C-alpha cells in the first residue's frame, strides 16, 4: 500500500457507512410526533432491509448510484431549503 | 460530492480541492479521538477558511468549511495508546502538530466508520471586511499598502466604499 501523504491524505483507515444516519431514522419511527413518524415510515419504504445503503460498508459506487436516497436521508440534518438550489442561488449573487 | 477523478468535491458553492482538505480532516479526526477516548476538551466545530476564484468573474471568494462529525464512529483496532498527563499537555499546547499527534496516537490504532459532513459557508463579505480592517487599523498599515494595490482589482468597489465609510 502506498504511504500516505500527510499534506494531502486522510491518515486513518475509513469505512463508509450510513448506519448511524439510518439509526437516526429508526429512532424517528418512535417519535412522539405523528408527522415525524410518518416521514420516517416513508423513508424506510425506499430503503428496505436488503438495500445496499444499509450494508456494513458502502462502496463509493453504490453511494453514487443511490445519491437521491442519500439526499433523502440527509434531510435529517440538512433541510431541503438549504440544499443545492437555494445555496447556489444565494452564492451566485453578487456582493 | 466527490468528483470522478477524486481530486475535488463539487458543492453548492463550487469546487473544493481534496488537497485543501486532507490536513484539516486529519486534525479534526485527532480532535474527535482525544474527545472520545481521552476526555480531552469539549466538542468543538472544526472549521477553516479557503480562498478560491469565482469562475464567473475571477474575483476572490472565501468559504468557511466546517467539518461535522456527528455521524462518525471511531473503532479501536488494537490497544488504546496510553497518554500521560504530560503528553496531553503537550498536545493541548500544540494542537496542530501532526508529527506530534501521529507519534502519540498512531493512526493504525483507529478506524473511522460512517461519514462526515462538510458545510461550505460563503464568508466572502466578512473576510473582506476583516482584511481591510486589518490594513486600515493594523500596525503595519503602510507596509501593507502594496498588497492593497495588488488585490484592489479583485475586490468590488461597492464593498470597498462601504468599508471605508465605516472607518472615516
**B23-52 tens-digit pLDDT:** 778 888 898 899 899 988 655 556 777 777
Å from B132 to nearest chain A CA?
Answer: 15
Using the beta-carbon criterion (under 8 Å), do A18 and B114 form an inter-chain contact? yes
The DSSP call for residue B61 is: E
A62 in a structural domain: yes
- Whole-structure pTM value: 0.67
Q: Does residue A6 sit within a domain?
A: no
Confidence check on the interface: ipTM exceeds 0.90, yes or no: no
Q: Does residue A3 sit within a domain? A: no
Q: Among partner residues B14, B23, B29, which is closest to A7 by beta-carbon distance? A: B23
Q: Is A1 part of a structural domain of the chain?
A: no
Choose among B103, B83, B116: nearest CA to A16: B116
Q: Give A-chain residues touching B25 at CB under 8 angstroms.
A: 10
Query: Which residues does chain A have within 8 Å of residue B158's beta carbon, measured at their own beta carbons?
Result: 95
B37-43 contacts at long range (C-beta below 8 A, 24 or more positions apart): B37/B74, B37/B76, B37/B80, B38/B83, B38/B88, B40/B88, B40/B91, B40/B92, B41/B92
B59-117 per-position pLDDT tens digit:
888 888 888 888 889 999 989 999 999 999 999 888 888 899 999 999 999 999 998 88
Task: Count up the domains in chain A and report the number.
Answer: 1
Structural domain containing residue A31: 19-88
CB-CB contact of A23 with A14 (8 Å): no
Q: How far is CA B166 from CA A65, B132, B138, B160, B162, in A?
A: 51, 11, 15, 10, 6
Cross-chain Cβ contact B29/A9 below 8 Å: no
Task: List the single residue in B26, B71, B114 with the smallest CB-CB distance to A10.
Answer: B26
pLDDT, tens only, A31-89: 999 999 999 999 999 999 999 999 999 998 998 899 999 989 988 887 665 555 555 55
DSSP assignment, residue B81? P
Amino acid at each position: 500500500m502506498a504511504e500516505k501523504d500527510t499534506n494531502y491524505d486522510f491518515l486513518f483507515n475509513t469505512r463508509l457507512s450510513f448506519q448511524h444516519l439510518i439509526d437516526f431514522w429508526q429512532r424517528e419511527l418512535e417519535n412522539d410526533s405523528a408527522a415525524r413518524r410518518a416521514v420516517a415510515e416513508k423513508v424506510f419504504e425506499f430503503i428496505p432491509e436488503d438495500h445496499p445503503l444499509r450494508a456494513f460498508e458502502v462502496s463509493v459506487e453504490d453511494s453514487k448510484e443511490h445519491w437521491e436516497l442519500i439526499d433523502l436521508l440527509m434531510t435529517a440534518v440538512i433541510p431541503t431549503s438549504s440544499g443545492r438550489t437555494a445555496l447556489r442561488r444565494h452564492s451566485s449573487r453578487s456582493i | 460530492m466527490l468528483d470522478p477523478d477524486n481530486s475535488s468535491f463539487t458543492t453548492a458553492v463550487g469546487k473544493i480541492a481534496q488537497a485543501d482538505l486532507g490536513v484539516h480532516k486529519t486534525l479534526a479526526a485527532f480532535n474527535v479521538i482525544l474527545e472520545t477516548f481521552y476526555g480531552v476538551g469539549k466538542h468543538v466545530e472544526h472549521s477553516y477558511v479557503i480562498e478560491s476564484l469565482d469562475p464567473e468573474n475571477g474575483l476572490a471568494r472565501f468559504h468557511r468549511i466546517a467539518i461535522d462529525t456527528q455521524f462518525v464512529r471511531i473503532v479501536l483496532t488494537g490497544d488504546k495508546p496510553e497518554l500521560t498527563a504530560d503528553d496531553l499537555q503537550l498536545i493541548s499546547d500544540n494542537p496542530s502538530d501532526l508529527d506530534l499527534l501521529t507519534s502519540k496516537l498512531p493512526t493504525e490504532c483507529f478506524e473511522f466508520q460512517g461519514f462526515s459532513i462538510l458545510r461550505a459557508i460563503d464568508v466572502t463579505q466578512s473576510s473582506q471586511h476583516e482584511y481591510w480592517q486589518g490594513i486600515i487599523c493594523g500596525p503595519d498599515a503602510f507596509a501593507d499598502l502594496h498588497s492593497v494595490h495588488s488585490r484592489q482589482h479583485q475586490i468590488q468597489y461597492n464593498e470597498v466604499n462601504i468599508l471605508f465609510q465605516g472607518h472615516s
